């Protein structure tokens, strides 16, 4: 009986010590996390001052992950936690402001007419890569690219594909060793035929714009950084004596490490924002006006489908559209129906004009006779 009593007491003591050990592990992990957060805040401040934005955003992402872990484990039990969150938010806002300011230094909109200037050259492209990755780490890159796409549509695409019969538009590109500038220039059509700018010219200008944007900026690819957490059975799982049950201790995983997962290019983000609008503008303001309305013009239109096919291949190659997106190609392949429809519309317009016009030219005979008599 005494042996059984001692065994029960020993088991109880073991369970108590085991519980205390778990609590110590949890406390040690919490302290390590708080030290990591504190050190991270100081390091981020230094990196911002040194303009090492990408490294600063990486540390902030790590600090944010640690604070998330603390919140999930303890909720609002940690009194200092709200202060840590405020500090994190303040640093994120400060860093985002500095990074966006750097973006606007490398990608500049200025002048009237508007000129887009992009920093060029190997060093500048590397700076753009770092700034883009920093914005991605902060969760701000999509908004920046969306604004850029909107400006491209307003200042370039809509003008280049304008269906104005009084003005033609083209790109003016000036390159230097360290920058490239792009603007849209306009002029009066040189043709005696007051028609719109030819479809082939518009397709060429649009292609040149996309190729240049891809080469100088949109080819940049950003990656997602995530932590892969692995749990070691020796450190995280123990066997409860006498029961055979397994329990997890709240201990740091020694195998935590950061891994890099391929994300997306700036071109794919840009495409999500404006590819549909660009294709619609190409059809409505470029291809539609190029559809012939007389049989004699069909032979000349034969060049357009080939140009559209070339543009389609280039846009797929750049990642602006997918291989399944064949709206432009299918549109020009349907030229016979489009020709018939356009011819019908013109005939109906002519018929309407004739119906609405005066049938007779009325002349006041009496006044005419009086003038002759008064001669």
What's the pLDDT tens digit per position in 360-373?
555 555 555 455 55
Q: Is the pLDDT of residue 195 over 50?
A: no
Phi/psi at 174 (5° precision): -125, 125
The pLDDT value given to residue 244: 38
Average pLDDT across the chain, whole number: 78
The pLDDT value given to residue 343: 54
The pLDDT value given to residue 216: 94
Name the burial class of residue 22, with classes exposed (0-12), middle (13-18) and buried (19+) by CB atoms within 10 angstroms of its CB.
middle
Q: Sorting pLDDT into bands at 50, 70 and 90, what band is 300?
A: low
Report pTM. Answer: 0.74
Q: Is the pLDDT of residue 270 over 50?
A: yes
Contacts of 149 (CB under 8 A, 6+ apart): 270, 273, 274
Q: Report d(CA 226, CA 263) in Å as an integer.
A: 11
Please indicate whether residue 240 or residue 49 has the higher confidence score (pLDDT): 49
Question: What value does the mean pLDDT take over residues 6-21?
Answer: 66
Q: Is the pLDDT of residue 73 over 80?
A: yes
Distances (CA, A) of 81 to 66, 203, 272, 286: 11, 57, 38, 59
Question: What value does the mean pLDDT take over residues 132-154?
Answer: 95
User: Which of 32-46, 185-199, 322-336 is modeled with the greatest confidence?
Assistant: 32-46
Candidate from 12-21, 157-166, 201-210 with smallest mean pLDDT: 12-21
Tens-place pLDDT, residues 77-126: 888 889 999 999 999 999 999 999 999 999 999 988 899 999 988 889 99
Judging by DSSP bridges, how do beta strands 179-187 and 221-228 pair with one another? unpaired
Please indicate whether residue 294 or residue 356 has the higher confidence score (pLDDT): 356
Candidate from 57-66, 187-196, 228-237, 303-312 with smallest mean pLDDT: 228-237
Q: Is the pLDDT of residue 227 over 60?
A: no
The pLDDT value given to residue 251: 34
The pLDDT value given to residue 197: 46
Would you put residue 111 in left (φ > 0), alpha (ψ -120 to 50) or beta?
A: left
């Amino acid at each position: 009986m005494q042996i059984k009593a001692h065994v029960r007491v020993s088991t109880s003591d073991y369970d108590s010590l085991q519980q205390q050990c778990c609590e110590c592990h949890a406390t040690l992990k919490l302290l390590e996390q708080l030290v990591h957060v504190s050190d991270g805040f100081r390091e981020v401040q230094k990196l911002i001052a040194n303009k090492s934005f990408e490294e600063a955003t990486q540390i902030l992402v790590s600090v944010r992950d640690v604070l998330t872990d603390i919140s999930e484990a303890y909720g609002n039990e940690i009194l200092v936690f709200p202060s840590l969150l405020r500090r994190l938010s303040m640093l994120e806002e400060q860093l985002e402001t500095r990074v966006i300011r750097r973006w606007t230094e490398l990608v500049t909109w200025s002048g009237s007419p508007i000129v887009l200037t992009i920093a060029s050259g190997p060093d500048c492209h590397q700076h753009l890569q770092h700034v883009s990755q920093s914005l991605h780490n902060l969760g701000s890159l999509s908004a920046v690219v969306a604004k850029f796409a909107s400006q491209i549509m307003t200042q370039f695409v809509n003008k280049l594909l304008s269906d104005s019969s009084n003005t033609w538009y083209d790109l003016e590109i000036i390159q230097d060793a360290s920058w490239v500038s792009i603007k849209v220039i306009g002029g009066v059509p040189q043709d005696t035929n007051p028609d719109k700018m030819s479809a082939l010219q518009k397709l060429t200008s649009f292609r040149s714009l996309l190729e240049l944007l891809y080469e100088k900026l949109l080819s940049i690819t950003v990656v997602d950084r995530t932590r892969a957490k692995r749990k070691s059975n020796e450190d995280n799982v123990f066997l409860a004596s006498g029961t055979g049950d397994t329990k997890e201790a709240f201990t740091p995983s020694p195998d935590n490490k950061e891994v890099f997962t391929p994300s997306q290019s700036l071109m794919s983000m840009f495409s999500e924002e404006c590819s549909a609008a660009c294709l619609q503008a190409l059809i409505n303001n470029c291809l539609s006006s190029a559809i012939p309305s007389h049989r004699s013009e069909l032979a000349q239109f034969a060049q357009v489908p080939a140009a559209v096919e070339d543009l389609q291949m280039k846009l797929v190659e750049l990642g602006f559209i997918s291989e399944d997106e064949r709206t432009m190609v299918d549109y020009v392949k349907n030229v016979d129906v489009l020709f018939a429809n356009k011819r019908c519309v013109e005939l109906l317009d002519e018929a309407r004009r004739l119906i609405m016009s005066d049938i007779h030219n009325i002349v006041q005979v009496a006044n005419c006779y009086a003038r002759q008599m008064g001669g």
